[in-house]
Structure 1
Amino acid sequence: MQKVIDSSLEVFDQLISFIDSIDDDIYQTHSRPLFDSNIGQHLRHILDIYQALIRNKQDTIIDYDIRLRGIPLESNRRDAIITLNTIRQWLTQLTPDDMNRSVSISTEVAISEKHSAIFQTSFGRELFFASNHTIHHLALMVTLAKVLGWRAINDYGVAPATATYLREQQSAQNQHDGVNQ
């Protein structure tokens, strides 16, 4: 389970680096019609998931439907970086017992009407979900930043299986190039 924590920290490091690398205009701008949400709102959505996990230390159910829309970090990168670093610190304090703990989650499951369901899971599984959810939204945020003129070259927002595939492809290409020299 330590690998899940380490992976989450790696994803948070990418997220912090990305947010630090863009300017306030890119962070705050909506790029309609491509996206209705700005980067700050995507980040807030990511952090809602982690806040639900953090609240689980006191609550018996992880409730993914508690959303803190309209908060300052949606438009203030400095607030965002502070919050990211706080959650990153929390991640470093997780233990194997935390990861193996049985938990329940509550989440809305219908679009046309309000209907929630409760599922049994483990805290480690939910942290894994949060990390993959972060990767997905980081990829969207990188796309939005590029549409708005951000030109950094990076591998932010790449899923673990895709990163493995790309490394294997690069290794095969390097071996092929070495044979043909």
Structure 2
Amino acid sequence: MSSPSPALATSPEQNGFSDDATARARLLEVSTAILRQAVNLVEDSLTTDQQLTAQSNYIPGSTIGKHLRHARDHFALLAEAISTPAPHVLNYDKRARNTPMESQRKAAADALNEAIAQLHEVVPTANLAEPITLHAVTPYPQVMETTFARELWFAGLHAIHHWSMVRVIAGELGIKLEDTFGFAPSTIVHMESKAALGKPKI
């Protein structure tokens, strides 16, 4: 029997955790924190629905609403894929566009909170090494094997990438965001450790 591909290795020891439960808890914690950044943005920083649909001058075609929906959908599609009977198939290109969360603050908050609830339902009992077949267009159709842990980790990094673009658009609109919005949790921890040592938070 051949050994597993290094790219798909997801044992607790390789992830730096002593057991699967700890690994799942940490992945869930990070994913939740990233999605809650978006919930806080919608509920506390935005003041009108129009701010969700305002077009960026720096990132053509981009709006805050589109970035929120796009990133949130990756978490939701992954949760749906792992909830179905094996073999699990995941296709991020099946996202629905022009949904209410792109233009309505309440709908955005509801959709983001729904994604968080989905993760809290499936992650605690999921097998991190559960095989998933990923379909993608790059622009050519691709089919590749991955795992649940790898895709949940990717969804978080992917969301942070889009939150950084949301920060750019918010700046164009004069919207004040939390200092930590758009930063990965690991970066926030690093910044806080530097601050504790009396060093600048940059």
- State whether TM-score is above 0.5: yes
Structure 1 match to 2:101: 73
Structure 2 match to 1:82: 110
2:167 to 142, 149, 153: 142
Q: CA, structure 1 residues 98+79, in 2 after alignment: closer, same or farther (shift >3 Å)?
A: farther
CA distance in 1, matches of 2:69, 2:177: 23
In 2, are the aligned partners of 1:135 and 1:158 still within 8 Å (CA)?
Answer: yes
CA distance in 2, matches of 1:44, 1:152: 18
Q: CA, structure 1 residues 35+154, in 2 after alignment: closer, same or farther (shift >3 Å)?
A: farther
Q: Which amino acid in the other structure matches residue 85 of structure 1?
A: N
Q: Which amino acid in the other structure matches residue 101 of structure 1?
A: E
Q: Name which of structure 1's ranges 56-65 and 11-20 shifts more when overlaid on structure 2.
A: 56-65
CA distance in 2, matches of 1:108, 1:102: 20
RMSD over aligned CA atoms reads 1.9
Q: Which amino acid in the other structure matches residue 136 of structure 1?
A: H
TM-score (norm 1): 0.84
How far residue 95 of structure 1 moved from its aligned partner, in angstroms, is: 2.2
State yes or no: 1:166 paired with 2:183.
Answer: no
Stretches of structure 2 lacking an aligned partner (at least 5 in a row): 1-22
In 1, are the aligned partners of 2:76 and 2:118 still within 8 Å (CA)?
Answer: no
1:103 to 119, 132, 136: 132
Deviations 1:74-99 (A, max 9, x none): 11111111111111111112224343
Q: CA, structure 1 residues 98+81, in 2 after alignment: closer, same or farther (shift >3 Å)?
A: farther
Q: How many equivalent residue pairs?
A: 170
Stretches of structure 1 lacking an aligned partner (at least 5 in a row): 175-181
Deviations 1:120-164 (A, max 9, x none): 121111111111111111121122112101124421111234323
User: What pairs up with 1:1-181 in 2 under 5 angstroms?
Assistant: 1=23, 2-21=25-44, 22-23=46-47, 24-56=49-81, 57-58=83-84, 60-93=88-121, 94-110=123-139, 115-173=140-198
Q: CA, structure 1 residues 91+97, in 2 after alignment: closer, same or farther (shift >3 Å)?
A: closer
Q: Which amino acid in the other structure matches residue 106 of structure 2?
A: R
Identity of counterpart residues, as a percentage? Answer: 25
In 2, are the aligned partners of 1:40 and 1:73 still within 8 Å (CA)?
Answer: yes
CA distance in 2, matches of 1:141, 1:33: 11
In 2, are the aligned partners of 1:49 and 1:64 still within 8 Å (CA)?
Answer: yes
User: Secondary structure at 1:173's aligned position in 2?
Assistant: coil
Q: Which amino acid in the other structure matches residue 108 of structure 1?
A: V
In 1, are the aligned partners of 2:33 and 2:185 still within 8 Å (CA)?
Answer: no
